[in-house]
Structure 1
Amino acid sequence: MMWQGGILGWFVLFSLCSVCLDAEGISCPADFHEVSGSCYWYSDTKASFKDATVQCRKMSSRLVVVASPEETALLHSNILLQGKADVYYIGARYQDNNRLWISDGNKPTTTPTTRSTTDLKCVVMRVQQRVRWYNADCNDKIRFICQFQ
């Protein structure tokens, strides 16, 4: 049977969709962007690491855990395509004598270029012409990237 709702009906249908399929059949929540099989949300607002973590959880996601140089490159190009070059929290912070831990308990395959000297440092990804990894005070207000789980 053919949809009879007209343009307004389609608008209402898609406006109500909280998890929609893209052209490749990947299910991403509204406002998340599909990049190579994963769903990412790039904040327009700035928050502390703790507040960013809470906001991601409210969207059934987590701060992104960048697992490979390939994922870094995909995020980099997607952020630049959206015109959102900036500094972003990711799901990594320093603790336990400067050992780097990420939100899912694993160590990252890509590490920042600088090391922390305190337990209050979080890893940030600076996206401009290239990607650089730095540490920042976890209380700093910075944009962040959530990854749908």
Structure 2
Amino acid sequence: MKDQNTKQIKIEDMEAPVFKALLHFIYWDSLPDMQELTGLNSNWASALMSQHLLAAADRYGLDRLRLLCEANLCEDVTINTVATTLALAEQHHCFQLKAVCLKFVAMPENLRAVMQTDGFEFLKESCPSVLTELLEHVARVNEHSMIICRHGNEAILDGSDAHGRRVKQRL
């Protein structure tokens, strides 16, 4: 029998698996297994779930969850997800995630492929100011490449290795 004092709260702007992950975090202070949650064994599905969960964490002020999702997304940037992740980073003020995405997209071997994705169209429509930042980042990458080519040196000037990963110098 239903108690008449019980109120129902209907959440319409969130998918059930995202809400389930949100509750899991609230109760256990950890992220659930994204592949188990989505029922798919793919990095794309996990990245999509992390994107939705990051937006929910930002909406409900769950800063630790937001940081965990941001860290997950920083580790798993791909051609197919980077543009939507970049838009998400801009909309939710995730500066580290935004920097990782800009660096990934600015790499010459990635830029053309990213521009052909549906996510890039979404980025252009939803966050046109990010395109200016992207162009500036691409210009900086090209400047560094020209300096390196002129000097015949393989070292990347910003402290990254040839694959764009940060490298800590040994002392």
TM-score, normalised via structure 2 length: 0.31
Bigger-Rg structure (1/2): 2
Which structure has the highest strand share of the two? 1
Higher RCO by CA contacts (8 Å cutoff, separation 6 or greater): 1
